[in-house]
């Protein structure tokens, strides 16, 4: 067997066998196959797709490429949430303490930024001192103690995804539906949880652009989960504009804190309550509506925010020292009208271009920079009124490129719902 034949087979739309897929993964992990060869295969997969069989086989190979976590020392049904990635998506930062505040244990592992989308781990690392790389026993112990922990993949969990995810990030092969399904499901299965809620985002600011792609991806992820005896719920949500107002690491943490104090933007609050209600209802075996009532109460009575502070404290972070850049510019609208579109992906790319994300695996992130939207889709804006604030670091930005992200018209367009539907 050799890698060139495997690449050529996929280029010719052939179906790869378990042995061929395993050969690639094993030899990439041990260094016998290099980045260029795997990039080429990933590109062939991106263009020609994978059969369901290939997706199942590759998920299993990824899952068995490293350790699997045993969560049996933590009480109750363990439920996890995963997002397919979007712009301004700080949902996990709110959801984990909120769900944990209802007594459900949440042992959450998250990832770094991918492509133009931000990553929860980078956001957490903008909190000075916050430790995301806990040892496995430390991670489990924290969940047993306070009911929640938020860490980067610990130990040797799905090393195949770790290495291939970083390569996809810098080779334009992030958007492949089969690769997304394998990446997400192998990690969720290895993390030892019983039930999984997936926030499947679609739209301009998401990796998945259309409802039909979302249906395909949702179906395969539910099937993979069920195959391993795990219940999976995919909530298909709108990512046609950034979530909330903040884009950029520290700014997003601040917005998550506001939301935990029940003072956050409507769309973020609604999304968190929707995903959280599925998580709590699955973990406690209660109705969706009863779960939602518990969550609303804990946002109002301060328990959710208290749990967040406990979590940050346990992981050595100090939110008092959270910083945003003092180099702030306010961009004003050039006309009066309804904001009918905010190009989320482009804003995500611009944040990356001024240092808020990575182009190369080893790039450092400037946590203090980003954007704060003053207007959302559907809002009315006057000429000369602020559209957005820009927090800059040492890189420049062309303000016209930021203004071009906003489409302002005399007439409003029809509102798009935040939640399109659920696949289970
Ligand atoms: N999230 C993941 O974990 N993997 C992907 O491939 C895309 C989003």
Catalytic residue (choose from 22, 112, 162, 187): 187
| The two structure tokens encoding residue 20 | 């061929």
Inter-residue contact 110 to 152 (CB < 8 Å): yes
Measured distance CA(120)–CA(122) in Å, rounded: 5
Q: Is the CB of 180 under 6 A from ligand 1?
A: yes
| Catalytic residue from among 22, 78, 162, 168 | 168
Q: What is the pLDDT of residues 259-311, one digit of tens each?
A: 999 999 999 999 999 999 999 999 999 999 999 999 999 999 999 999 999 99
Cβ 85 under 6 angstroms from ligand 1: yes
Q: Which atom of ligand 1 lies at the shortest distance from residue 182's CA?
A: 6
Rounded to whole angstroms, what are the CA distances from 8 to 14, 29, 179? 9, 21, 18
Contact (CB, 8 A) for 201 and 86: yes
Residue 155 has pLDDT above 70, yes or no: no
**CA-proximal residue: ligand 1, atom 3 (nearest):** 184
Tell me the C-alpha distance between 84 and 165, whole Å.
13
* Ligand 1 atom 2 nearest Cα: 184
181 lines ligand 1 (CB under 6 A): no
pLDDT of residue 416: 85
Residue nearest to atom 5 of ligand 1 (CA): 180
pTM higher than the cut 0.95: no
Cα–Cα–Cα angle for 121, 126, 209, nearest 5°? 50
Distant-in-sequence, close-in-space partners of 370: CB < 8 Å, separation ≥ 6:
246, 247, 248, 249, 250, 251, 252, 324, 351, 356, 391
pLDDT at 114: 66
Element at 341 (helix H, strand E): strand 337-342
Q: Residues 88-144: pLDDT tens digits?
A: 999 999 999 999 999 999 999 887 776 677 789 999 999 999 999 998 899 999 999
| 227 annotated active-site | no
Structural domains in the chain, sorted by start = 3-49 (1.20.970.10), 78-159+168-320 (3.40.1030.10), 325-409 (3.90.1170.30)
Q: Please report the DSSP string for 403-419 in residue order.
A: HTTEEEESSPPPPPPSE
Query: Does 317 score more than 80 pLDDT?
Result: yes
User: How far, in Å, CA of 77 to CA of 120, rounded?
Assistant: 23
Closest ligand 1 atom to Cα of 165: 6
> Has 70 been annotated as catalytic?
no
User: Mean of the per-residue pLDDT values for the chain?
Assistant: 95
The pair phi, psi for residue 374, each rounded to 5°, is -95, -20
Q: How far is the CA of 13 from the centre of ligand 1 (A)?
A: 24
pLDDT tens track for 328-358: 999 999 999 999 999 999 999 999 999 998 8
């Amino acid at each position: 067997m050799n890698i060139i034949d495997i690449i050529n087979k996929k280029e010719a739309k052939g179906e790869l066998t378990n042995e061929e897929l395993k050969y690639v993964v094993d030899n990439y992990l041990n260094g016998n196959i290099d980045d260029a060869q795997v990039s080429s295969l990933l590109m062939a997969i991106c263009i020609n797709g994978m059969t369901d069989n290939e997706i199942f086989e590759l998920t299993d190979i990824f899952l068995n490429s490293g350790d699997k976590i045993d969560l049996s020392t933590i009480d109750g049904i363990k439920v996890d949430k995963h997002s397919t990635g979007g712009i301004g998506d700080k949902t996990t930062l709110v959801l984990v303490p909120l769900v944990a505040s209802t007594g459900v244990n949440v042992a959450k592992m998250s990832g770094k930024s991918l492509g133009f989308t931000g990553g929860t781990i980078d956001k957490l690392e903008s909190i000075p001192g916050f430790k995301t790389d806990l040892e496995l026993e430390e991670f489990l112990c924290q969940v047993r103690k306070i009911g929640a922990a938020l860490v980067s993949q610990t130990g040797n969990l799905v090393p195949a995804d770790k290495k291939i995810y970083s390569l996809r990030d810098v080779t334009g092969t992030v958007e492949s539906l089969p690769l997304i399904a394998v990446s997400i499901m192998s990690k969720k299965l290895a993390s030892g949880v019983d039930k999984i809620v997936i926030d499947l985002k679609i739209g301009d600011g998401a990796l998945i652009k259309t409802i039909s792609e979302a249906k395909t991806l949702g179906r395969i992820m539910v099937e993979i989960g069920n195959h391993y005896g795990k219940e999976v719920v995919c909530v298909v949500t709108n990512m046609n504009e950034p979530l909330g107002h903040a884009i950029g690491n520290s700014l997003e943490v601040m917005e998550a804190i506001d939301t935990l104090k029940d003072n956050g933007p409507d769309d973020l609050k609604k999304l968190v309550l929707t995903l959280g209600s599925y998580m709590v209802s699955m973990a406690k075996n209660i109705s969706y509506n009863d779960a939602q009532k518990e969550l609303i109460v804990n946002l109002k009575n301060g328990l959710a925010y208290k749990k967040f502070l406990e979590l940050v404290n346990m992981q050595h972070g100090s939110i008092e020292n959270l910083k945003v850049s003092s180099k702030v510019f306010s961009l004003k609208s050039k006309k009066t009208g309804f904001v009918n579109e905010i190009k989320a992906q482009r804003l995500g790319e611009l944040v990356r271009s001024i240092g808020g994300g990575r182009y190369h695996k080893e790039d450092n992130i400037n946590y203090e920079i980003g954007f704060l939207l003053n207007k959302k889709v559907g809002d009315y804006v006057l000429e000369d009124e602020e559209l957005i604030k820009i927090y800059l670091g040492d890189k420049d930005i062309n303000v016209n490129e930021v203004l071009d992200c906003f489409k302002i018209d005399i007439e409003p367009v029809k509102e798009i719902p935040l939640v399109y539907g659920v696949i289970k």
